[in-house]
């Protein structure tokens, strides 16, 4: 269990990225169409199972205070997974029944099991038959996402790119077996193109924020250190990975800051030009005022002269 804690922690951290990226993930996983400005509520809850083991059911997310989704990440297939998901769903429905109690309604969250890695083929869905005796039966379905079968292109298309740090798992078995030049090169390409390249692409099109990009880089670094950095053959690649994961996103941020600085400079120049025009207009208005005052004085003097002549 302790071996997989790193993956569990990374997955939970991913679920706390920007609301934009989380809405994109929910839409991609469940074929939903929530707008980017939808509200997100996290149901952070801890309870105990029958064996008195503490269970953190902190992957249930509610959208717009109405629709709930349960995301369960797994590294290995477990026979009782369908029962666990049902238990989580029932516990959530019972805790959040609220006014539904008067109508006798329990609203279960929509579940999805995300297999980040499995040695044996995982099913497309699980099914639990609920037998209510004379009242009939109900088939409870839980679909799965098999990450290792999902390409970076598919993650981008479905806007689920925040799962990209787990791309490192695709070469875990190969590198464990042999750190050959071919495998090292494959890992290098995976990091630079599939991971860093995908993060850049999705940042550019607005699927994730700049802060999401930074955090995804850090989470990727954590997973890389956990999976690969301990091998002696990885020394050169470790250095390259540190630079790639740190510098590439930093370059994006610096370019973004440069663009903002350039925009600020243009705005400042425009403001200065407007101020100069205002000053010129003010000066011209002052000259006009002076001329008008002179004309008024001349008119007054002329009127006095005309009055004197008339008296004579």
pLDDT computed for residue 54 by the predictor: 42
Angle at which helix 235-311 crosses helix 210-227, to 10 degrees, equals: 170
C-alpha to C-alpha distance for 228 and 168, rounded to whole angstroms:
9
Going from N- to C-terminal start, the domains of the chain cover: 1-149
Using CA atoms, how far residue 148 sits from 73, 82, 168, 226, in Å, is 13, 21, 10, 18
What number of other Cβ atoms are within 10 A of residue 289's Cβ? 10
125-131 and 137-146 strand pairing: antiparallel
10-residue stretch averages of pLDDT, the chain, 312 residues long: 72 93 97 95 64 53 94 86 92 80 82 90 93 96 95 96 95 89 90 92 92 91 88 71 58 60 73 77 79 78 72 62
SS3 call for 123: coil
Q: Is-contact 170 147, C-beta < 8 A? A: no
User: Which secondary-structure segment (H or E) carries 41?
Assistant: strand 40-42
C-alpha to C-alpha distance for 189 and 261, rounded to whole angstroms:
33
φ, ψ of residue 70 in degrees (nearest 5): -110, 115
pLDDT computed for residue 285 by the predictor: 79
C-alpha to C-alpha distance for 255 and 156, rounded to whole angstroms:
23
Residues forming a β-bridge with 138: 130
pLDDT computed for residue 45 by the predictor: 55
C-alpha to C-alpha distance for 299 and 305, rounded to whole angstroms:
10
User: Which secondary-structure segment (H or E) carries 63?
Assistant: strand 60-63
C-alpha to C-alpha distance for 142 and 81, rounded to whole angstroms:
10
Q: Is-contact 124 118, C-beta < 8 A? A: no
Beta carbons within 8 Å of 196's beta carbon, 6+ residues apart? 217, 244, 245, 248, 249
CA angle 10, 14, 249 (to 5 degrees): 95
Closest CA to 25 of 142, 164, 195, 125: 164
């Amino acid at each position: 269990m302790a071996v997989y804690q790193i993956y569990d922690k990374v997955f939970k951290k991913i679920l706390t990225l920007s609301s934009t990226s989380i809405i994109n993930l929910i839409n991609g996983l469940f074929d939903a169409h929530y707008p980017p400005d939808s509200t997100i509520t996290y149901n952070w809850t801890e309870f105990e199972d029958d064996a008195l083991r503490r269970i953190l059911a902190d992957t249930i997310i509610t959208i717009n205070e109405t629709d709930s989704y349960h995301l369960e990440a797994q590294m290995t297939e477990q026979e009782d997974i369908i029962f666990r998901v049902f238990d989580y769903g029932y516990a959530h429905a019972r805790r959040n029944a609220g006014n539904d109690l008067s109508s006798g309604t329990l609203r279960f969250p929509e579940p999805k099991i995300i297999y980040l890695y499995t040695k044996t083929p995982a099913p497309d869905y699980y099914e639990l038959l609920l037998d209510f005796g004379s009242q009939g039966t109900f088939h409870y379905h839980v679909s799965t996402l098999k990450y290792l079968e999902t390409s970076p292109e598919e993650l981008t298309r479905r806007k689920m790119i925040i799962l990209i740090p787990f791309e490192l798992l695709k070469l875990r078995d190969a590198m464990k077996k042999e750190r050959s030049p071919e495998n090292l090169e494959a890992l290098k390409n995976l990091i630079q193109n599939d991971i860093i390249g995908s993060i850049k692409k999705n940042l550019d099109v607005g699927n994730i924020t700049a802060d999401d990009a930074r955090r995804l880089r850090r989470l990727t670094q954590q997973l890389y250190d956990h999976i690969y950095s301990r091998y002696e053959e990885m020394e050169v690649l470790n250095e390259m990975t540190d630079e790639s994961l740190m510098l590439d996103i930093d370059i994006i941020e610096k370019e973004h800051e440069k663009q903002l600085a350039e925009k600020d400079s243009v705005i400042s120049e425009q403001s200065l030009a407007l101020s100069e025009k205002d000053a010129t207009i003010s000066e011209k208005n002052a000259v006009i005022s002076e001329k008008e005052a002179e004309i008024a004085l001349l008119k007054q003097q002329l009127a006095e002269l005309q009055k004197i002549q008339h008296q004579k």
